[in-house]
Amino acid sequence: MSAPLLIIAAGGTGGHMFPAQALAEVMLKRGWRVKLSTDARGARYTGGFPEAVEINQISSATFARGGIAAKALVPFRIAAGVLGAGLNMLRDRPSVVVGFGGYPSIPALGAAWALRMPRMIHEQNGILGRVNEIFAKRVNAVACGIWPTKLPEGVDGWHVGNPVRAAVLDRAGSAYIPPGDYPMEVLVMGGSQGARILSDVVPPALAALPMNMIHNIRVSHQAREEDGQRVADYYAESGIHADVRPFFDDVPRRMSEAQLVISRSGASSIADLSVIGRPSILIPFAAAAGDHQSANARGLVEAGAAIMVPERKANPEVLTEQILSVLEMPDGALQMSRAALSVGKPDAAETLADMVEHLSAHGTLSSTEEENQQ
């Protein structure tokens, strides 16, 4: 008898792919087979997936990009993707299909719905993304990464947290060295696709720090490819040692060694901060649907683990002041790191895996079978 099959559907950004990878790692350890259904964009983030995961690139599309002609073809491309996914499922029937959001998750979830296969979604943010909103009433369960998550009327949610990859769990609760008169690491992250505002305001904010502090600072700054050279030049001219790249494949290590993290508040970044336990200054993406990045940040801010700076107020002067409030207060920074850990859910991937296995065995989840927190 072959091992049960889990199909994971995700795509678009690291925010969808990283928790998908975390679930894949756990399910493989539990003896399941795992297939990932994604598109070409999502495939860029599969480098960290275990080799045992079969990666299928499917036909999908989004209304958010392209001209009129491209948008007119979107329904046909999605329909082709659903048909292809359905045929694959009939050949190798999955026990459960889990969607993590993004347009590339539509084909697998759509086929699972049409074929009445056990299916669920995981929403990373405090507000449902467009695709997860479409499927919220068409799946057997909705798992939530941020609590509370705004859900459609009549839909129950299970608060499981946001799964983090094994590389993050390996650094969970790493000892925090408070800032002081010695080399200090500052990690600057704009999410998996970078953020121009961080490249505009963080370098001058750090350059305005006292000279004795500047000499101690080591910066890891994730910048868009088109911004990288000017950011690196600015740091060099300001006497700040900086490693500037479009993507860091060792974020868990850099975060665990950081005295301070300056970041967007994407769901995966929030999860990593709370599991590793680091003080942060968060600048939510103002154009995020439903302002969900502010909702994501709220838990860390209310716990005293993070400082939130709205994008409209994020200028170098404000940021310098907030950076100093962390780096000049070692006791406060240590308390922030502990507060971050207090809201972390390092077992989120295991909890989600439990839900998958329960859904496979029973075909449903109810408030008596899981702790329903909605």
Question: How confident is the model at residue 59, as a pLDDT?
Answer: 65
Which residues does residue 222 pair with via DSSP β-bridges, in sequence order? 245
C-alpha 317/C-alpha 359 separation (Å) is 51
Q: What mean pLDDT comes out for the span 3-22?
A: 92
Q: Are 146 and 267 in contact (CB under 8 A)?
A: yes
Higher per-residue pLDDT: 274 or 59 = 274
Question: How confident is the model at residue 163, as a pLDDT?
Answer: 97
Higher per-residue pLDDT: 171 or 12 = 171
Pairing between β-strand 119-123 and β-strand 184-189 as defined by DSSP bridges? unpaired
- Chain-centroid distance of CA 343 in Å reads 16
- pLDDT level of residue 77 (50, 70, 90 thresholds): confident
Q: Are 293 and 265 in contact (CB under 8 A)?
A: yes
Residues 138-148 pLDDT 10s: 999 999 999 88
Question: How confident is the model at residue 25, as a pLDDT?
Answer: 98
- pLDDT level of residue 365 (50, 70, 90 thresholds): confident
Helix/strand/coil percentages in the chain, nearest 5? 45, 15, 40
Question: How confident is the model at residue 374, as a pLDDT?
Answer: 46
* pTM assigned to the model: 0.90
- Chain-centroid distance of CA 193 in Å reads 12
Q: What mean pLDDT comes out for the span 32-55?
A: 91
- What are the start-end ranges of the H helices in 257-315? 267-276, 292-303
Q: What mean pLDDT comes out for the span 118-122?
A: 98
Higher per-residue pLDDT: 78 or 5 = 5
- Chain-centroid distance of CA 171 in Å reads 17
| Tokens linked to 306 | 């993070």
| Tokens linked to 187 | 């990690």
Residues 104-116 pLDDT 10s: 999 999 999 999 9
Q: Is residue 187 within a helix (H) or strand (E), and if so which, with residue range?
A: strand 184-189
Q: What mean pLDDT comes out for the span 238-258?
A: 96
Lowest-confidence segment of 130-134, 146-150, 185-189, 319-323 by average pLDDT: 146-150
Q: Are 101 and 124 in contact (CB under 8 A)?
A: yes
Q: Residue 275: phi, psi to the nearest 5?
A: -85, -40
At what angle are helices 267-276 and 330-342 packed, to 10 degrees?
110
C-alpha 252/C-alpha 18 separation (Å) is 12
Q: Is the pLDDT of residue 22 over 80?
A: yes
- pLDDT level of residue 290 (50, 70, 90 thresholds): confident
| Tokens linked to 350 | 């295991």
| Tokens linked to 84 | 């292809």
Q: Is the pLDDT of residue 13 over 90?
A: no
Question: How confident is the model at residue 274, as a pLDDT?
Answer: 98
Please tell me what DSSP assigns to residue 88. Answer: H
Q: Is the pLDDT of residue 357 over 90?
A: yes
| Tokens linked to 155 | 């839909």
Q: Are 121 and 152 in contact (CB under 8 A)?
A: no
DSSP SS3 for 8: strand
